[in-house]
Structure 1
């Protein structure tokens, strides 16, 4: 399950796509511009890099290029949580699932899946 981890700005774009997808580059830029505070061209360049890394899927709808997340939400968030627990907090085990209970990004099914992944996750390298 160890894959390349999205950068913080890539994660911001992925979170927007997990909430609503597909989105054009312009729509995605509008969703994240207050958080990332960068230009539309930066959003486009980041999407191109994310496409090259297979983090997003680009397709065409009615002549407009649109994007959707290629990375699974729960798996990606589990990777971040495990990395944080191990590298930052120096924990030997996973973070308690209760830490994610009030997440605006995850529903009950996502939390159950995350709990299973965190319980099964081997110790981080």
Structure 2
């Protein structure tokens, strides 16, 4: 199922639809539109067109066996996030993961988040 294509990065609109598909699983255009329209004003045909473009870019797969086509994310949320982070590290942080982490951890990081990060770092050291 995974079509990992590291050169294709989803746009913000595509990420919105991918988040819906990752949460719902395979869904029709109508089902995706219903979820998206709860938080933003988007037309059905706009959702359809974006999903068609995403299919052309191999970001989603499409089951055409029924009258209503069913779309599903081609890659997992983790795979997509990893690809986006690698691209961001390369482009914005000169390939340095530590620079990304230091920039991400600033005064707005909560005490709970810092504790979670500390636990993760401790588990990685073991």
TM-score range, shorter chain: 0.5 to 0.7
Unaligned runs of 5+ in 1: 103-111, 117-125
Does structure 2 conserve the Cα–Cα contact (< 8 Å) formed by 1:16 and 1:28? yes
2-side partners of 1:61 and 1:23: how far apart?
13
Which among 58, 82, 100 is matched to residue 78 of structure 1?
82
Which portions of structure 1, spanning 4 or more consecutive aligned residues, are displaced by more than 6 angstroms? none
Provide structure 2 residue ranges, at least 5 long, that are not aligned to the other structure: 106-111, 113-119
CA distance in 2 between partners of 1:91 and 1:34 (Å) = 38
Count residues in correspondence.
100
TM norm structure 1: 0.65
Aligned equivalent of 1:119: none
2-side partners of 1:71 and 1:36: how far apart? 25
Q: Partners of 2:16 and 2:94 in 1: how far apart?
A: 25
Is residue 7 of structure 2 the alignment partner of residue 7 of structure 1?
A: no
Which structure: larger Rg? 2
Checking the alignment, whether the CA contact within 8 Å between 1:51 and 1:57 is kept in structure 2 is: yes
Residue 20 of structure 1: CA displacement?
Answer: 1.2
What secondary structure is seen at the aligned counterpart in 1 of 2:97?
A: coil
Indicate the SS of the match to 1:58.
strand
